[in-house]
């Protein structure tokens, strides 16, 4: 029974160690996934901040150009045809700047959407790969555990046969042990008698 208990303890320890390894691997993969997601979020925040700053600077530039256009329009009313033509060029330039700003904002939005889609695809691919590796690890661990249990069962059969042989020889061993104990007891008694006789002899002397 002690042998079976030891076998069960060994199997339990192996299963616990494999479960700990699986948990450690899954935790590491989870940490890597969280780190990638965090970096993607930080990148998205940086892109949004750049777009906000760029939008503010462009709006400020458009406002200055609008004020300049208004001032020039006021001036053209009291100036020559050449000045009026200059104002028209300034207005055209303002429209071109506005169109350029719209185009830039649209391109930036498209790039941001493409980046977010790519980041999402990378994250999904990582999660799928992690799941496949985890399943493969669990399956391999299960196969190794089954093989170990089979070896332990064979060892148990061998130990059971050995135990039967030992039990068959127990009676003879008990008889030999009893005979040896009896012989030792007789020696002790005889030695005690000799010691007492020796002490008596010394006392008489």
Contact 62, 94 (CB under 8 A): yes
CA distances from 168 to 95, 160, 176 (A): 109, 12, 14
Distance CA 133, CA 26 (A): 9
Tens of each residue's pLDDT in the chain, 205 residues:
556 566 667 666 777 767 677 777 777 777 777 887 787 788 778 777 877 777 787 787 778 877 877 776 776 666 566 656 666 776 777 677 777 767 777 776 777 677 767 766 766 776 677 667 767 766 776 687 777 777 777 776 777 777 677 677 777 767 777 777 787 777 877 777 877 777 777 665 4
Q: Where are the beta strands (DSSP E) in the chain?
A: none
CA distances from 130 to 36, 116, 143, 189 (A): 13, 21, 20, 78
Token duo for residue 196: 């007492």
Quickly tell me which residue has 């939005």 as its tokens.
Answer: 109
- Cα of 36 vs its chain's centroid, Å: 13
Whole-structure pTM over 0.85, yes or no?
no
Distance CA 140, CA 152 (A): 18
Rounded (10°) angle between helices 81-168 and 2-76:
180
* Domain residue extents for the chain: 2-168, 170-205
């Amino acid at each position: 029974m002690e042998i079976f208990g030891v076998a069960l303890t060994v199997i339990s320890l192996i299963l616990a160690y494999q479960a700990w390894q699986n948990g450690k691997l899954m935790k590491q993969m989870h940490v890597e996934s969280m780190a990638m997601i965090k970096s993607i979020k930080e990148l998205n925040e940086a892109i949004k901040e750049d777009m906000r700053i760029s939008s503010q600077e462009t709006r400020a530039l458009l406002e200055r150009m609008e004020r300049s256009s208004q001032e020039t329009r006021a001036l053209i009313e009291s100036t020559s045809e050449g000045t009026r033509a200059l104002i028209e060029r300034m207005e055209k330039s303002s429209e071109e700047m506005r169109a350029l700003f719209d185009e830039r904002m649209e391109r930036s939005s498209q790039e941001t959407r493409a980046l977010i889609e790519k980041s999402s695809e990378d994250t999904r691919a990582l999660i799928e790969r992690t799941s496949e590796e985890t399943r493969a690890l669990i399956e391999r661990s299960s196969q190794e555990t089954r093989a170990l249990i089979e070896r332990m069962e064979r060892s148990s059969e061998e130990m059971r046969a050995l135990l039967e042989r030992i039990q068959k020889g127990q009676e003879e061993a008990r008889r030999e042990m009893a005979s040896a104990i009896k012989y030792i007891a007789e020696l002790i008694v005889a030695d005690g008698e000799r010691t007492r006789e020796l002490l008596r002899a010394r006392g008489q002397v």
